[in-house]
């Protein structure tokens, strides 16, 4: 818009000088003004194009042939200042011609004015020369401002992109730091539970055995009062042992990470054969009992797949529903009908005669109020475990947080 404003001023000034010099608006001046308007419009929206350069050359050459057109030279000089802006190297030399061609008609006009003895014509030519130089300088200034504006926008875009990347990196670092803190906390809880179990638990167990022995000795010796005291000590130590066991179990449960436990179980058979395991864990947290049940079910299912199923792909999917947790282990292995098909219509793996692993999965699921279904499904074998969520306030509702 600033470019058009500058050129509008140059056009108005040229028209005023033309009317002042000739006393009327002639056809030559109107044609020159029309070419100048076209040059300004094309230069605004297609600067550096062949059409813009052709209009500049046309206006400069017309000023050499038609005396009235020299009044439009400021517009030609203004557009010539930016004619090589944005032009690649292969066209830079071609752009130099229209960039400096406005000097030719201006030189011709100056030489013509040397022989003129009319002061008014001489003053108009001097004003035209100054305005042409001013137009070229204004074109350079506008081009420079436009380049600076583009550079500022580029730097702003680069800065915004850098800020986005830094924010993303900060968020990732925060997640990594939180995960590291939680992992260290869980490891410390596990260590404390192990220390209590190995040291305090053993000492309390020894104290219980000693009080029981002392109680028996006192009874044999007929010391009923001492025997009663040893019995009270035994009850106190036993109660302390119960509290310690509960605390150790709570620490162990809190120190077990759900996601890492499931991940470990899913890769428990790595290296046992050409088995590819795909794990999709949609459970963020679950009680320790559920975690142990699912981890055991995954291990048993993978063990059964490797030993009997001859499968190559296993899909492990865990889902968290509003009322239950669900585990599905599906492989693409082989199954065969049992000899008791006519009676039970059941399926077994080839060479799978015990079914101890499957029974263990079912028992663990039933112990938590859930169910387990193991059998052929979609040309493979599926282990499907569903465990209902306990009521709020239950002891098993303390979740194991999953690592994200």
As beta bridge partners, residue 373 has 384
Checking if the pLDDT of 350 tops 50, the result is no
Residues 398/253, Cβ–Cβ less than 8 Å: yes
Query: Using CA of residue 24, residue 28, residue 32, residue 38, what is the dihedral sign?
Result: positive
Q: What is the mean pLDDT of the chain?
A: 77
Residues 281/262, Cβ–Cβ less than 8 Å: yes
Q: What is the reported pLDDT for 121? A: 64
- Its pTM stands at 0.42
Listed by start position, the domains of the chain span: 2-154, 183-254, 258-401
Q: What is the reported pLDDT for 340? A: 37
Residue range 307-316: mean pLDDT, rounded: 82
Please name the helix (run of DSSP H) or strand (run of DSSP E) that holds residue 233, with its range, or none: helix 224-254
Q: What letter does residue 101 receive in the DSSP assignment?
A: T
Q: What is the reported pLDDT for 354? A: 42
- Rounded-to-integer distance, Cα 194 and Cα 201, Å: 10
Q: What percent of the chain has pLDDT over 70?
A: 79
Most confident of 104-118, 130-144, 149-163, 292-306: 149-163
Checking if the pLDDT of 297 tops 50, the result is yes
Q: Please state the length of the chain.
A: 404
- Rounded-to-integer distance, Cα 265 and Cα 296, Å: 7
Nearest to 58 by CA among 97, 5, 15, 116: 97
Fold assignment, 258-401: Heat Shock Protein 90 (3.30.565)
Q: Write out pLDDT tens, residues 206-259.
A: 888 888 888 888 888 888 888 888 888 888 888 888 887 777 766 665 556 778
Question: Which is more confidently placed, 4 or 135?
Answer: 135
Nearest to 81 by CA among 28, 39, 116: 39
Q: What is the reported pLDDT for 170? A: 92
Question: Which is more confidently placed, 83 or 85?
Answer: 83
In this prediction, residue 387 has a pLDDT band, given cuts at 50, 70 and 90, of very high
As beta bridge partners, residue 382 has 330, 375
Q: Reduced to 3 DSSP states, what percent helix, strand and coil does the chain have, rounded to the nearest 5?
A: 70, 10, 20
């Amino acid at each position: 818009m600033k470019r058009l404003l500058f050129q509008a001023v140059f056009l108005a000034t040229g028209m005023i000088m033309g009317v002042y010099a000739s006393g009327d608006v002639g056809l030559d001046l109107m044609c020159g003004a029309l070419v100048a308007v076209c040059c300004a419009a094309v230069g605004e929206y297609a600067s550096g194009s062949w059409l813009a350069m052709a209009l500049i050359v046309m206006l400069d050459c017309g000023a050499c042939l038609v005396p009235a057109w020299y009044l439009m030279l400021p517009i030609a000089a203004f557009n010539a200042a930016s004619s090589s802006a944005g032009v690649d190297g292969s066209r830079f030399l071609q752009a130099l011609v229209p960039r400096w061609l406005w000097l030719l008609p201006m030189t011709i006009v100056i030489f013509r004015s040397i022989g003129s003895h009319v002061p008014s014509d001489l003053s108009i030519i001097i004003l035209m020369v100054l305005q042409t130089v001013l137009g070229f300088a204004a074109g350079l200034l506008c081009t420079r401002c436009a380049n600076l504006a583009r550079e500022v926008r580029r730097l702003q875009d680069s800065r915004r992109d850098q800020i986005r990347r830094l924010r993303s990196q900060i968020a990732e670092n925060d997640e990594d730091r939180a995960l590291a803190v939680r992992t260290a906390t869980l490891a410390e809880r596990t260590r404390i539970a192990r220390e209590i179990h190995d040291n305090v638990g053993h000492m309390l167990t020894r104290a219980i055995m000693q009080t029981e022995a002392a109680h028996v000795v006192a009874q044999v010796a007929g010391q009923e009062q001492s025997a009663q005291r040893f019995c009270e000590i035994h009850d106190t130590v036993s109660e302390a042992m119960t509290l310690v066991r509960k605390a150790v179990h709570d620490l162990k449960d809190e120190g077990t990470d759900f996601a890492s436990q499931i991940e470990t179980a899913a890769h428990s058979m790595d290296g046992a054969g050409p088995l590819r395991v795909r794990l999709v864990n949609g459970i963020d947290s679950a009680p320790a009992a559920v975690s142990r049940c699912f981890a055991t079910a995954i291990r048993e299912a993978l063990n059964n797949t490797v030993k009997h199923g001859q499968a190559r792909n296993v899909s492990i999917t865990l889902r968290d529903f509003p009322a239950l947790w669900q585990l599905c282990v599906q492989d693409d292995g082989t199954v065969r009908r049992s000899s008791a098909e006519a009676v039970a219509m059941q399926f077994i793996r080839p060479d799978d005669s015990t079914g101890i692993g499957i029974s263990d999965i079912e028992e663990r699921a039933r112990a938590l109020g859930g169910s387990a279904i193991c059998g052929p499904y979609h040309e493979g074998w599926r282990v499907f475990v569903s465990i209902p969520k306990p009521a709020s306030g239950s002891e098993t509702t303390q979740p194991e947080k999953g690592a994200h």
